[in-house]
Copies of this chain bind each other. A is one copy, B any other.
Amino acid sequence: MEPTARDAACFEAGIKFGALYHQFAGTPVSPESAPSLERAVEESIENQPFCESVSVDILTEKLAAEIDHGYTELTGRFMEVEIAVEREGTEVVTRMAMEDGYPLMKIESVRED
């Protein structure tokens, strides 16, 4: 079956999430450097086509509690992300947060004009 505009919008939202995660996972991060990394991740992914907004929250308290060499590598355990995509009149809002010890990415809502 042919993909619909709605399918394409959901697909785009997934691309942004996969891109964000695998581009930045492994980046050295500390509570001090977290704010500049949040900003850079948001602005870099917002460059991609159809991307309306990206909001990244690095969990600095969790980071501070768990690291013991002053920094660690960024991974899904240490961030919450929300991404909104709009393509051909369909808006998809997606979110990543920890669930059962695993960084789960999911669609929050889909809105068609």
Copies per assembly: 4
With an 8 A cutoff between CB atoms, is A12 at the interface? Answer: yes
Q: How far is the CA of A36 from the CA of B39 in the complex (A)?
A: 6
Residue of B nearest to A67 (CB): B47
Contact with B along A67-86 (1 / 0, CB 8 A): 01111010100000000000
Please count how many residues in chain A sit with their CB below 8 Å of the partner chain's CB atoms: 60
With an 8 A cutoff between CB atoms, is A64 at the interface? Answer: no
Task: Known pairs A14-B18, A21-B22, A28-B44; list 12 more (Cβ under 8 Å).
Answer: A3-B10, A7-B7, A7-B107, A14-B14, A17-B18, A18-B22, A19-B19, A22-B26, A28-B45, A36-B42, A36-B43, A37-B44
